[in-house]
Amino acid sequence: MSSSSSSSSQMGELVADKHVRYILMSEKKKESFESVVMDHLRMNGAYWGLTTLDLLDKLPSVSVDEVVSWLLTCQHESGGFAGNTGHDPHVLYTLSAVQILALFDKLDILDVAKVSSYIAGLQNEDGSFSGDMWGEVDTRFSYIAICSLSILKCLDKINVEKAVDYIVSCKNLDGGFGCTPGAESHAGQIFCCVGALAITGSLHHVDKDLLGWWLCERQVKSGGLNGRPEKLPDVCYSWWVLSSLIMIDRVHWINKAKLVKFILDCQDLENGGISDRPDDAVDIFHTYFGVAGLSLLEYPGVKAIDPAYALPVDVINRILLTK
């Protein structure tokens, strides 16, 4: 039975209350196989859920102390955070932890020197970043390092110039970016690279018209966005593509109304949550990217999100624009 057959009166509207309920419930539903498979990235899940709640102005319904005390159990002696209690530290989860604390205005509980040393310690000689001690290199980790350190106001702990040079070395002839030099452009990777360049004031390295055309051609007939040419659309690219287009000031090159409709069509109108494509199973990841996408599309009732730091604009302005 497909739940998309629900009352048509709700078609074309964001069922915000249901998404809020879905997020709050999914935290409690731990018995399904899917939730166990996702166990190792609970920190990311928490960031997706909490940011969505904040964008919908419902963050106060969460117990800050409960989240923060669990979050601290994930921190290792090295300063890095794991995806969940007992797992190994990795920058992927360290950024989420920093972002969650930023949301709650609780960055002061962090030992900033320690966390930033962990991240800075992962920079390699060529300017790239490893994700953890095992040495996987990817421009995702460059973004994560730069984003977290900027939020913690510790960018001076790394060699920013080399970090930027490495990202630029991953630029392709189509204007996009890949995970390592020579790797194919991918919208998620483009977000990471453009985001890192944005945060370091280095967007002049981007060929905005070339990349902008590649990105705007990600919009397919249904209005949704794909992540690479000739691929299916997916709600998560509403975030990766849109945020990149906004950072380079080319977002007017896509049809926003059609994209809004595509995202809204991916809602589970009965039980809340958003999926990758209409009528697929919902999850917290796509719920976040759908709502964040709507925020970037100025959908009424959704707070503005910052396209580079992936946190609400008021949170980032409070941290970076207020002395």
> In the window 265-284, what residues touch another protein (CB under 8 A)?
268, 275-277, 279-283
Quick one: 79 or 223, whose CB is closer to another protein?
Answer: 223
As a whole number of angstroms, the distance between CA 320 and CA 323 comes to 7
Closest CA to 295 of 312, 281, 319, 278: 312
Q: Rule CB under 8 A: choose which of 16, 56, 67, 308 binds another protein.
A: 308
As a whole number of angstroms, the distance between CA 117 and CA 105 comes to 21
Q: Rule CB under 8 A: choose which of 76, 157, 162, 228 binds another protein.
A: 228
Q: Rule CB under 8 A: choose which of 7, 9, 31, 77 binds another protein.
A: 31
317 binds another protein (CB under 8 A): yes
List residues bridging with 75 in a β-sheet.
Answer: 81
Restricted to residues 235-264, the positions that interact with another protein (CB under 8 A) are 246-249, 251-255, 258
Mark the segment that binds another protein (CB under 8 A) among 10-18, 53-61, 103-111, 181-189.
181-189
Restricted to residues 45-104, the positions that interact with another protein (CB under 8 A) are 82-83, 86-88, 90
Instruction: Quote the tokens at residue 218.
Output: 């990600």
Give min distance, CB of 68 to another protein, in A. Answer: 23
Q: Rule CB under 8 A: choose which of 64, 214, 290, 311 binds another protein.
A: 214
323 binds another protein (CB under 8 A): yes
Question: What are the backbone angles phi and psi of residue 123, rounded to the nearest 5°?
Answer: -75, 135
Mark the segment that binds another protein (CB under 8 A) among 51-59, 105-113, 116-124, 230-238.
230-238
As a whole number of angstroms, the distance between CA 197 and CA 164 comes to 7
10 binds another protein (CB under 8 A): no
315 binds another protein (CB under 8 A): no
DSSP secondary structure of 229-269: TT----THHHHHHHHHHHHTT-GGGS-HHHHHHHHHHTB-T
DSSP secondary structure of 154-209: -GGGS-HHHHHHHHHHTB-TTS-B-SSTTPPP-HHHHHHHHHHHHHTT-GGGS-HH
Per the CB < 8 A criterion, the answer to whether 104 and 136 are in contact is no
Mark the segment that binds another protein (CB under 8 A) among 14-22, 67-75, 115-123, 221-229.
221-229
201 binds another protein (CB under 8 A): yes
Cβ within 8 Å of residue 221, ≥6 positions away? none
Instruction: Quote the tokens at residue 281.
Output: 């199973």
135 binds another protein (CB under 8 A): yes
Mark the segment that binds another protein (CB under 8 A) among 16-24, 37-45, 100-108, 117-125.
37-45
Mark the segment that binds another protein (CB under 8 A) among 19-27, 104-112, 121-129, 308-316.
308-316
Q: Rule CB under 8 A: choose which of 234, 263, 293, 310 binds another protein.
A: 234
List residues bridging with 171 in a β-sheet.
Answer: 177
165 binds another protein (CB under 8 A): no
Instruction: Quote the tokens at residue 102.
Output: 């930023």
Alpha-carbon torsion 236, 240, 243, 245, what sign? Answer: negative
